[in-house]
């Protein structure tokens, strides 16, 4: 698609210019303008767009492509035929994939049908983003129509799916037995200019973008959550200006929030689970209250010695381990003395209190085999520990000692697991 040098235009300056360079420069300016407009009018969306690297990709067979995390590629030859409102629609659509963590939520579903479902859900929301200057009217326009070199564009926008999440739309689409288009191979370059190829990609052909399949690591999930939290903070500082999809604020906060209310759980255990190292009248000694005497009681917001076992066996999914990392962060904040044992069928690593924070930041979970908790309890016995509480982060597909240990035991288990334990308390959490 590279044009010939425009000699007439370059004669005046004495330098030959390439029409392609002009298009690239013009589209870069337009993309930058839309980005700033979005930041001003809708700070939540604009903040997220600012975190993405926007890379021109003249070989792209669509308006845009995204990895749903760090990059947005756009074809300047195609986007140059769009109005500013239509270009805004395309960029807001790509931001939507970040907001809803599209690739992270796919969970083994058909790549083709999931792409369709997420686009239907996102396009409906983008189409209803309000223009602050004209309340009640949309800010962005659907880029339907004939585009030179791209053909007729029909984006995935259907009133039937209004208010529905992608998972629900997927079930309807799966029942319709849709036939995917022919697989394609795309060539792109990163922000550093290094090229790469994505072969045999079954895309939906929906007109706006191409989704690159990504299996997000724990670090990438945390990066995405931190970015969403930053966008939310920016939005709040701007007094809630602009559109945010319904219930999204709560969803963002919940992604990085522990499922287990640890303070409450600890209080429900026996008294030895609480480190009583100070006196407070806010927590009076109940033994004296029946005699109308108000005597300060020993109280602490933290827990005493806690031993945590982290199951890194092959049966624990990436999503399970991500949820575990969140719970570990919360546990660390509550415990006075926390020891972490990383294990599958054998102990892989023991992390002391001084190294917990560094371990959580690294998120390098060793293991991957079967599961056996007997070495864990043997280690606790041999180390002569008598913890105030033992917490097992596991799916309970494991072997346990025949005898119950002489300290309270709490199992934190993914909700999808139906396994039970012969002793100890089991709490099931969503991942």
Q: In terms of DSSP bridges, do strands 71-74 and 53-56 run parallel, antiparallel, or are they unpaired?
A: parallel
Beta strands in 327-400 (DSSP E): 335-343, 347-351, 389-393
Give pLDDT, residue 240. 61
User: Per-residue pLDDT for 32 more than 90?
Assistant: yes
Helix 218-237 with 43-50: angle, nearest 10 deg: 140
Q: What is the pTM of this model?
A: 0.59
Q: In 3D, which of 365, 417, 375 has the Cα closest to residue 396?
A: 417
Give pLDDT, residue 140. 92
**Residues 221-252 pLDDT 10s:** 777 777 877 777 777 776 666 666 655 655 55
Question: Residue 409 contacts by C-beta under 8 Å, 6 or more apart in sequence?
Answer: 390, 392, 421, 423, 424, 425
CA distance linking residue 406 with residue 386, whole number of Å = 8
| Residue bearing the bigger pLDDT, 415 or 6 | 415
Q: What is the DSSP letter of 298?
A: E
How high is the mean pLDDT of the chain?
76
CA distance linking residue 335 with residue 198, whole number of Å = 46
Three-class secondary structure of residue 197 per DSSP: strand
What are the phi and psi torsion angles at 55 (to 5°)?
A: -120, 125
Give pLDDT, residue 27. 92
**Residues 302-319 pLDDT 10s:** 557 889 898 887 666 666
Most confidently modeled of 121-130, 148-157, 227-236, 421-430? Answer: 121-130
Give pLDDT, residue 419. 86
**Residues 368-383 pLDDT 10s:** 667 899 999 999 999 9
CA distance linking residue 244 with residue 42, whole number of Å = 8
Residue matched to tokens 């520990």 = 385
Give pLDDT, residue 93. 93
Give the gyration radius of the chain's Cα atoms: 27
What are the phi and psi torsion angles at 195 (to 5°)?
A: -85, 155
In the chain, what are the domain boundaries? 7-255, 262-275+303-429
CATH of 262-275+303-429, one of 3.10.105.10, 3.40.50.410, 3.20.20.70, 3.20.20.10: 3.40.50.410
């Amino acid at each position: 698609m590279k044009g010939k040098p425009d000699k007439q235009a370059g004669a005046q300056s004495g330098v030959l210019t390439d029409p392609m360079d002009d298009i690239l420069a013009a589209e870069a300016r337009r993309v930058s303008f839309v980005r700033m407009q979005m930041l001003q009018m809708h700070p939540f969306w604009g903040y997220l767009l600012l975190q993405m690297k926007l890379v021109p990709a003249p070989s792209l067979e669509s308006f845009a492509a995204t990895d749903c995390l760090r990059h947005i590629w756009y074809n300047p030859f195609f986007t140059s035929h769009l109005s500013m409102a239509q270009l805004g629609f395309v960029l807001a659509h790509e931001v939507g994939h970040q907001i809803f963590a599209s690739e992270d939520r796919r969970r083994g579903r058909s790549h083709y049908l999931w792409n369709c479902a997420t686009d239907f859900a996102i396009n409906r929301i983008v189409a209803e983003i309000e223009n602050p200057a004209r309340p009640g009217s949309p800010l962005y326009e659907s880029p339907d129509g004939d585009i030179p070199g791209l053909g007729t564009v029909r984006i995935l926008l259907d009133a039937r799916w209004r208010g529905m999440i992608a998972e629900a739309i997927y079930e309807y689409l799966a029942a319709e037995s849709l036939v995917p288009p022919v697989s394609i191979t795309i060539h792109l370059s990163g922000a550093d200019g290094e090229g790469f190829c994505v072969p045999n990609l079954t895309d939906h052909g929906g007109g706006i973008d191409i989704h690159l399949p990504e299996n997000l690591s724990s670090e990438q999930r945390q990066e995405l959550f931190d970015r969403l939290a930053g966008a939310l903070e920016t939005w709040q500082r701007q007094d809630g200006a602009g559109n945010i999809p319904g219930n999204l604020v709560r969803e963002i906060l919940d992604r990085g929030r522990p499922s287990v209310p640890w303070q409450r759980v600890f209080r429900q255990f026996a008294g030895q689970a609480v480190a009583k190292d100070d006196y407070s009248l806010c927590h009076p000694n109940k033994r004296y209250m029946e005699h109308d005497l108000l005597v300060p009681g020993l109280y602490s917001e933290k827990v005493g010695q806690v031993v945590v076992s982290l199951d890194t066996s092959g049966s624990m999914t990436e999503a399970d381990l991500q949820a575990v990392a969140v719970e570990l962060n919360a546990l660390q904040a509550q415990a006075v003395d926390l020891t972490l044992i990383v294990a599958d069928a054998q102990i892989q690593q023991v992390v002391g209190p001084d190294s917990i924070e560094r371990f959580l930041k690294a998120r390098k979970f060793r293991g991957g085999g079967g599961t056996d908790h007997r070495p864990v309890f043997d280690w606790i016995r041999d180390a002569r520990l008598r913890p105030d509480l033992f917490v097992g982060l596991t799916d309970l597909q494991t072997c346990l000692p025949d005898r119950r240990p002489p300290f309270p035991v709490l199992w934190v288990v993914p909700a999808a697991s139906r396994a039970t334990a012969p002793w100890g308390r089991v709490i099931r959490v969503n991942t």
